[in-house]
Structure 1
Amino acid sequence: MPEAQEILLKYWKHSSFRPLQKEIIDSVLNGQDTFALLPTGGGKSICFQVPAMMKDGICLVISPLIALMKDQVANLQKLDIKAIALTGGIHTDEIIDLLDNCQYGNYKFLYLSPERLQSDWILERIKNLPISLIAIDEAHCVSQWGHDFRPAYLKISELKKYFLKVPFLALTASATPKVIEDIKTEVGMKDPAFFQQSFERKNIAYMVFEVEDKLYRVEQILKKNPQPSIIYVRNRKSCLNMAAQLQSLGFTATYYHGGLTSKEKDKNMNLWMSEQAQVIIATNAFGMGIDKGNVKTVIHTQLPENLENYYQESGRAGRNGDKAFSVVLTNSADSNQSEQQFLNILPDKKFLNKMYVKLCNYFQIAYGEGLDDSFSFKLNHFCQKYDFPTLKTYNALQFLNQQGIITMSQEFSEKITMQFLIESKEVIRYMSLNPNDEEIILAIVRTYPGIYEMKTPFNISVIAKKSNHTEEQIAAVLEKLLAKEIIDYKAKNNDATILFNEVREDDLTINRVSKYLEKQNQLKKDQLLSVLHYIKDQKTCKNRLILDYFGEETTANCGVCSYCITQRGKITEADSIPDKILHLLKSASLTSREIETTTKLNTGDVINALQELLENNYITVQSNNKYTLKL
């Protein structure tokens, strides 16, 4: 059997392992159940990919992230390693073919979502495969106390019954002690070897600043640190607004959110990865599998949903080991806004039940029917039709998706259909009169022979490749043909596709999962309180707050976070800050921002001192927002 380091060098071109990778691999190779808690950037996939290449048989990888599964399979295939993913939306016949390939085609990796294990016939097929290792990625989803619990993960324990001698490897980047114990129990791991890399990122300085003008502070940070940066925001609108504002200030900025097409995502990502854009503004849709070593700063201008997400997003800074910054910019309105964003949009059982019934009615699914039915879905139209609040409805759909009742894929693909309205001989005549369009039209009729008889699904990128033209040129020809009434051509964007995984049973369906909804809602409330505690606590090192949340004890302050820096340069005399400001204002009238910049004091201290001076009539504020000494 080849050595682990030989495999690592041969396929991944690395000469050495990251911390704990080798120990985890050795544990798996010894046939032992293993739990690996490696923070973001720790290289979790290597921990199962290397031993799988060393052993005979197939590595079964269970993952909830479709995009990540597709990405890993594509990367393995580039390395000439045979890998398959059973993602949602694949028809039964195709699944049978893929599983046949696994059984007889010498494949090394089979990726599947946990929901696939709920199909008994798929489970039966998997039982007969030569499985040598079972890897459970994003293992926190197993736990009801994890931040993304998915009941389908509980079916993993069924595999334990059939693969008694096969090692199970649970991997996660963020899990509290309670979640860790829950995972071990639910999966049925037998005395697992436990490997945990410290959550401490010594090269990251965690900063929390209370500021009035967030954009101004972002500008300051990006000017001071011109290296690649990420700014996380909560929604698509904020993404676009922040990108536009930074561009107007002269920064090279792009953006990334879940509503972009795959092509737009790739384009914007490449701008940032190639450093044609200094900063990328993103929602939490961004970050999966991102491994850019020289990110200097990660900024959150809106509060994160939980500390697990915040830790993972912050961890995208400083992967090269250089000093980096994770900055949260907050103000007095953020707490209320967060409650509006996260808590007021949580669906309760009553709303979930009503929404599910209306969803079935929307697609005209009768009671007892709907299994494997798939539909294009526009969220806004659905909400308008039934007068549902959009965000609460989206969360309800996401919950049904996590429970495996539906599969909601947000492909955001452009659906195009086309049909020729004239006879083939007339099309030939048109080509002879318009030779510039000939190659494109020939590619269309050769690719889609039935396009004269019926509306035919049409792929612009395929025609572009076959005709050796750009997609823009194809689109221009189609528009011309449409205008001349030579073709019928329709293009529409779908928000999502919804696949029903169960027959419609209304109350029976919702009653079965409502207990999970209640737990999930309570968990989200508790998680938000943890975020607010992290933001508001002014007496504890920020690094220690994070480590404590994940159950890692430390008595030492980090020395580099916003709290530690304040302590290091703390002025002990109570009156010294107002006195310093008074001395400064003897020379000139200044805004609070100018005072803050000159004194290098934090915003909160400056504001408190200014309020005190105003109340005692030492200073006054002018119409231009400058403070001046009172005569």
Structure 2
Amino acid sequence: MNKYQEILKQYWGYDSFRDLQEEIITSIGEGKDTLGLMPTGGGKSITFQVPALAQEGICIVITPLIALMKDQVQNLRKRGIKALAVYSGMTRQEILTALENCIFGDYKFLYISPERLDTDIFRTKLRSMKVSMITVDESHCISQWGYDFRPAYLKIAEIRALLPGIPVLALTATATPEVVKDIQARLDFREENVFRMSFERKNLAYMVRQTDNKTQELLHILRKVPGSAIIYVRNRRRTKEITELLVNEDITADFYHAGLDNAVKDLRQKRWQSGEVRVMVATNAFGMGIDKPDVRIVLHLDLPDSPEAYFQEAGRAGRDGKKAYAVILYTKTDRTTLHKRVVDTFPDKEYILNVYEHLQYYYQMAMGDGFQCVREFNLEEFCRKFKYFPVPVDSALKILTQAGYLEYTDEQDNASRILFTIRRDELYKLREMGTEAEALIQMILRSYTGVFTDYAYISEATLSVRTGLTREQIYNILVTLTKRRIVDYIPHKKTPYIIYTRERQELRFVHIPPAVYEERKARYEARIKAMEEYVISENVCRSRMLLRYFGEKNEHNCGQCDVCLSHRATDTLTGESLEELKKKIAELLAQKPHTPAEIAEKIEAEKERVSEVIQYLLEEGEWKMQNGMIHISK
């Protein structure tokens, strides 16, 4: 058993690695820059956690998903591994404490959001850290060709310059071939080094059902296919409506979206994961870091706006390797809705500039002021005040973020945190705190560990049950102790933030470049078109369409999607007859280009089979159609 297997056994209890994990771990362990392409559920976290534990020093993990950071830090701590996270919404003192712990506290993992890489405090402290490796999760976010580009990711190359010789492990579940090359270039890989799992999911049947009555079809599918399910919808209101519909039909269901309280999210997730609730109705906020292997159906009631997003969400079904279904319910009006998203996601430039200007009025920001100011942002209040709709404002702020004028963080639910600012021996010498305060302190010390070295998440509700004090009493005691400099208490808060990355500009100097607007808009439209083609196609295997989108050539049909099942009656091509017909047609085309009708006339085979081969090879790019004639691609 090698050192990596020993670590896997010691901390996770597994005897062996899954496909590709060990190859990626060995590569990064040898100090090579490494890109790992692993579909959702492929076990990405093991590929950096194991090699980091095998080396001295701390692994810096860059990820944009704050909920995932918190989950992974908690999970590592449960295994006795020291881990920390730094992200938007933490106070300066919290960040300082966390970074000091990374230098002196023998921590193994620092999870950090990409936006925090650019701060002076982080870069200063980084120089004193012993870093073993850098992990870039969701690494497709560094590529402007990708579906989820985030400008803050471009700072990672600068961090590499501060840590010469430290290798980078980039991970992603979805990347087209051009994005794969771009990730390596933008992360300054010393040489190209990609480990790629096949994106093919042999146990997952992709289905598209066209229907004018989605709710009826949904109920029909849930009654026909037993087992756990996720239903994805576009907005928060729909999650509640669909859940009520299912409950009324005696199907146990809960709903989940980013606007729910953390405690509510955790409770619902646990109820669903334990099987107490069968169906989770959710927005795309649900699923990151969720490891439930026995999901039998992932069903989309609304179309996602990219094949990448769809592939990730659909991939949450059937992780146990048993038969599962990824279903899209589609109606013709969905195409109109899909195209409307382009306008919502890329509002006119004039509109974006107006939002920028109104933001200055909202914060009463003087010209030239604002650089590195952090402000809480209430989207509803802003829209009410300046008569906007929330969706395009949200998009405008994201575009201004891409253009480098500000940093707009999505709504974050930060649980209450506490740190004792005096030493334990000093605490015991204190007098006159009152019996209630003393009882509360004792309960905190019994319930939470590490409160003298790091901020600990606390639950006032739990402390209330354990001490008999009301939540209000607990809040007031902790505020008083903060004023007396005994603790630093940061109450629970749920809010988005805007951070000014530049001082306020005059509108005539605010420039939104083509790379941020026109080029991204064109790529967004291309992804929507690809999604549209996926649902309306009736003659190409769904699995092959998705695989081809991600650059994976696949010679065989899956045999289980709705297209393959409908073609099975007409006896789909076997590998042998495909090769024979392909060879005959290729010989014909080698002489000169032909029309499909001419080919069908000259080849001795069923016309339907011939047209199927032609269609297949055109789709695969081996042949091309020009002026109605078929040519062999050079």
TM class by shorter chain equals: 0.7 to 0.9
> CA offset at residue 24 of structure 1?
0.6
| Comparing 373-382 and 101-110, the one that deviates more | 373-382
Query: Counterpart of 2:409?
Result: 408
Contact preservation (8 Å) 1:464, 1:474 = no
Q: Which residue of 2 aligns with 1:465?
A: 463
Tell me, in whole angstroms, the C-alpha distance in 1 between the residues paired with 2:415 and 2:28.
44
Residue 280 of structure 1 aligns to a residue whose secondary structure is strand
Match of 2:626 in 1: none
Q: Distance in 1 between matches of 2:346 and 2:560?
A: 37
Percent sequence identity over matched residues? 40
State whether residues 460 and 474 of structure 2, in contact with CA within 8 Å, keep that contact through their aligned partners in structure 1: no
Q: Structure 1 residue 543: deviation in Å? A: 0.5
Q: Partner residue of 1:112?
A: 112
Instruction: Report the secondary structure of 1:245's partner residue.
Output: helix
Aligned to 1:254: 254
Would the alpha carbon gap of residues 538 and 82 (structure 1) be closer, same or farther in structure 2, given more than 3 Å must change?
same
Following superposition, the deviation at residue 29 of structure 1 comes to 1.3
Does 2:364 correspond to 1:364? yes
**Contact 2:440–2:467 under 8 Å retained in 1:** no
Query: What's 2:484 paired with?
Result: none
Take 1:81 and 1:100, find their aligned partners in 2: how far apart are those partners? Answer: 17
Structure 2 equivalent of residue 590 of structure 1: none
Q: Which residue of 1 aligns with 2:168?
A: 168
Aligned residue for 2:303? 303
Aligned length: 526
Q: Does the 8 Å CA contact 2:58/2:132 hold for their aligned counterparts?
A: yes
Which segment is superposed worse, 540-549 or 68-77?
Answer: 68-77
Question: C-alpha displacement at 1:367, in angstroms?
Answer: 2.0
1:23 aligns with 23
Task: After TM superposition, give the deviation of residue 398 of structure 1 in Å.
Answer: 3.2
Q: Give me the whole-angstrom Cα distance separating, in 1, the residues matched to 2:146 and 2:237.
A: 29
**1:159, 1:376 → 2: CA distance?**
28
CA contact (8 A) 1:143 1:183 kept: yes
**Deviation of residue 2 (structure 1)?**
6.6
Q: Secondary structure in 2 aligned to 1:340?
A: helix
1:145 equivalent to 2:145? Answer yes
- The Cα of 1:204 is off from its aligned counterpart by 0.2
Give distance in 2, aligned partners of 1:177 and 1:23. Answer: 21
For 1:273 and 1:446, locate their aligned partners in 2 and report how far apart those are by CA, in whole Å.
34
Report how far residue 446 of structure 1 moved: 12
How big is the shift at 1:270?
1.7
Partner residue, 1:100: 100
Provide Cα deviations, 1:321-351, integer angstroms capped at 9, x if missing partner: 0000000010111100111234444223322
Q: Is the 1:226–1:278 Cα contact (8 Å) retained in structure 2?
A: no
Of 118-127 and 29-38, the range deviating more from structure 2:
118-127
Query: Is 378-387 or 247-256 further displaced after alignment?
Result: 378-387
Question: Partners in 2 of 1:49 and 1:444 — Cα distance?
Answer: 36
- For structure 2, which runs of at least 5 residues remain unmatched after alignment? 417-433, 444-456, 476-490, 573-634
Distance 1:365 1:34, change over 3 A: same
Q: How much does 1:98 deviate?
A: 2.3
Give the partner amino acid of 1:411: Q
Give the stretch that moved more between structures: 147-156 or 287-296. Answer: 147-156
Which residue in the other structure is 1:332 paired with? 332
Segment drifting more, 344-353 vs 273-282: 344-353
Residues 1:126 and 1:550: Cα distance change in structure 2 (over 3 Å): same
CA contact (8 A) 2:464 2:474 kept: no
Deviation at residue 311 of structure 1 after TM alignment: 0.3
Q: Deviations over 1:254-275 (max 9, x none)?
A: 1101111111111221221111
Q: How does 1:446-465 map to 2 (within 5 A)?
A: 461-462=459-460, 465=463
Secondary structure (helix, strand or coil) at the match of 1:410 reads strand
1:54 counterpart residue number? 54
Is the CA contact (8 Å cut-off) linking 1:86 and 1:111 kept in structure 2?
yes
- For 2:99 and 2:370, locate their aligned partners in 1 and report how far apart those are by CA, in whole Å: 25
Distance in 2 between residues matched to 1:176 and 1:199, nearest whole Å? 11
Q: 1:460 to 1:139 in 2, by over 3 A?
A: closer
Task: Tell whether 2:506 aligns with 1:538.
Answer: no
The equivalent of 1:192 in structure 2 is 192
Please give the secondary structure, in 2, of the residue aligned with 1:394. helix
Taking the TM superposition and a 5 Å limit, the aligned residue runs for 1:156-305 are 156-305=156-305
TM-fit CA distance, 1:523: 1.9
Q: CA deviation at 1:305?
A: 1.3
The 1-side partners of 2:88 and 2:465 are apart by 32
Decide which moves more: 278-287 or 404-413. 404-413
TM-score, normalized by length of structure 2? 0.77
CA contact (8 A) 2:346 2:517 kept: no
Residues 226-249 of structure 1 show CA distances to partners (whole Å, capped at 9, x for unaligned) of 200000000011111111111111
1:74-122 C-alpha deviation (Å, 9 max, x unpaired): 2112222111212112333433332222122211112212222222452
Unpaired segments of 5 or more residues in structure 1? 416-437, 448-458, 479-490, 573-631
**Structure 1 CA distance for aligned equivalents of residues 98 and 211 of structure 2:** 55
SS at match of 1:526: helix
Confirm or deny: 8 A CA contact 2:344 2:395 kept in the other structure.
no
Counterparts of 2:282 and 2:565 in 1: how far apart (Å)? 28
Q: CA shift at 1:496, angstroms? A: 3.2
2:325 partner letter: F
Residues 71/183 of structure 1: CA separation in 2 closer, same or farther (3 Å cut): same
- Look up the SS of the partner of 1:556 in the other structure: coil
Give yes or no for contact 1:29–1:51 (8 Å, CA) kept in 2.
yes
SS at match of 1:175: coil
Moved more, 125-134 or 177-186: 125-134
1:165 aligned counterpart, secondary structure: coil
Q: Secondary structure at the match of 1:468?
A: helix
Distance change >3 Å, CA 467–CA 501, structure 1 → 2 = farther
CA distance in 1 between counterparts of 2:5 and 2:264 reads 38
> 1:463 and 1:38, CA in 2 relative to 1: closer, same or farther beyond 3 A?
closer
Q: Cα offset for 1:180?
A: 0.6
- Deviations, residues 31-76 of structure 1 (Å, cap 9, x unaligned): 1111100010111111111001001111111111122112211211
Which residue in 1 is equivalent to 2:346? 346
Q: Cα distance 1:147–1:4, how it changes in 2: closer, same or farther (>3 A)?
A: same
Contact 2:21 2:47 in 1 (8 A): yes
Cα distance, 1:445 vs. partner? 12
Cα RMSD (Å): 3.0
Q: Is the 8 Å Cα contact of residues 403 and 512 (structure 2) preserved in structure 1?
A: no
